[in-house]
Amino acid sequence: MGNKNKLEDEKSPSNLGTIVSVRSSIVDVMFKEHLPPIYSLLRTGKDRKVVIEVLTQLDSHHVRGIALTPTEGLSRGMMVEDTGGPLKVPVGRGTLSRMFNVFGSPIDREAAPSDVQWRSIHQDPPPLVRRSTRSEVFETGIKIIDVLVPLERGGKAGLFGGAGVGKTVLLTEMIHNMVKQQKGVSIFCGIGERSREGEELYRDMKEAGVLPNMVLVFGQMNEPPGARFRVGHTALTMAEYFRDEEHRDVLLLIDNIFRFIQAGSEVSGLMGQMPSRLGYQPTMGTELSGLEERIANTDTGAIMSIQAVYVPADDFTDPAAVHTFSHLSASIVLSRKRISEGLYPAIDPLQSSSKMATPRVIGEQHYFLAQKIRETLAQYSELKDIIAMLGLEQLSQEDRNIVARARRLERFLTQPFFTTEQFTGLKGKYVSLKDALEGCERILHDEFKDFSESDLYMIGTIEEAIAKKLKRGQS
């Protein structure tokens, strides 16, 4: 039904072509009269269910396209219909609380939304004159992020990490926390991720009562590369409507931007392009920029994006990670080593960075405190080798104090999440920036040197550590 609405919105098709060849998801089509432009949508197969996007014009009569749906049943000589326009998706309030695929068709077993407009997924980034230059900090309620890696309102933040280090958990926690603070719209875009995760997220958001201000868009990992490659553009087009037409702030969560690059690599390989370094497509930088540059602050509203980035084999020099880094205002690096130490969220404070962490943006007090925390943790990191070889007793008293402070800071910067309550049995905590800074400052001033490290582990505010110690003393 969703596709039917969309077709009515497109020009009535009269330009017909014939399939010349089908190779996996790549289809070559011959048109005798009018050659469709790049990004045109073609339909063929039984009930016109096979959808093809034109990627290149081979000559004056032939185009080559990528199928966005499976190509079973296609054969040479089949009739192809030019829809007369690019892929269009629904935008508007009717999309809220719904789950869509790359075509804007609902996949939540409910009727297609009626109160919507249809808009092309291929849009230009906002011009420079319309962009906002204000720098504001976005509070997440997660201590280690707010203190050491402050996020920018309307900026782009990346969650970097290998498989199983907690990227999706951190993204889900941010949705929960932002609903408390954010009065805007959240759009979750799943690119090439597990369908199970999408279904769980939908149920969790429904139970938490935040679905009325959310849109979920999924291109699952079993879908053709063309669909996974375009699903990010679909979500972004929906986000741009709320920013430009309704002047609302939008939180765009992408899980996982590496799968977008991977889908582009598959499409490039199928199209017969020569791969560049490590097998990636030669056009990777252009494709990623085309998506990332549309995520921007304008004079009417802001799209803030948090993107999970899978790092192949934990190698941060991989071209996919390097290209993604260049677009971000904050990089949150998740570390497997911290998971082995039981420190959750497993964010590496020394590898993570933010362009917002300057005295002008976050204030001098916050800046100098963050620098002092980093310095303490860096000194502890350097001393770890000596401790491993000679033991803690061989350190000077000053170095021992640094180690004690750093270990207490590490434990205070852990935090129980709302989204993991059912697994850990610990009630989730939202901690304001003021409380997080106060706790870190008091630890650096050695107010808690008589406290056990476990008193500071997995708590919210520093007051909870005092309550824990009192409770221990009474028992």
Tabulate helix, strand, coil % of the chain (nearest 5).
40, 20, 35
Region at 164 (left for phi over 0; alpha for psi -120 to 50; beta for the rest): left
> Which tokens go with 467?
């309550």
Q: Residues 60, 13: contact at Cβ < 8 Å? A: no
Q: Residues 132, 299: contact at Cβ < 8 Å? A: yes
| Selected catalytic residue, list 53, 139, 152, 193 | 193
On the 0-12 / 13-18 / 19+ scale of CB atoms within 10 A, 129 is exposed
Region at 154 (left for phi over 0; alpha for psi -120 to 50; beta for the rest): left
Residue 209 corresponds to which amino acid?
G
Residue with tokens 């553009």: 233
| Selected catalytic residue, list 98, 156, 167, 230 | 167
Question: Active site includes 167?
Answer: yes
Q: Residues 16, 81: contact at Cβ < 8 Å? A: yes
Question: Active site includes 471?
Answer: no
Among residues 113, 98, 93, which one has the least CA distance to residue 2? 113
Cα angle: 214, vertex 289, 106; to 5 degrees? 30
Q: Residues 227, 69: contact at Cβ < 8 Å? A: yes
The 3-state DSSP class for residue 191 equals strand
| Selected catalytic residue, list 11, 23, 131, 194 | 194
Question: Active site includes 193?
Answer: yes
> Which tokens go with 316?
């941060």
Q: What are phi and psi of 89, to 5 degrees?
A: -130, 160
In sequence order, which ranges of 161-295 are alpha helices (DSSP H)?
167-181, 195-208, 225-244, 257-270, 284-292
> Which tokens go with 433?
């920036």
Please tell me the distance from the alpha carbon of residue 154 to that of residue 115, in angstroms, as a whole number: 27
Please tell me the distance from the alpha carbon of residue 399 to that of residue 135, in angstroms, as a whole number: 38
Question: What separation in angstroms does the CA of 272 have from each of 19, 24, 53, 313, 319?
Answer: 18, 12, 16, 27, 20
Report, as residue numbers or ranges, the catalytic residues. Answer: 167, 193-194
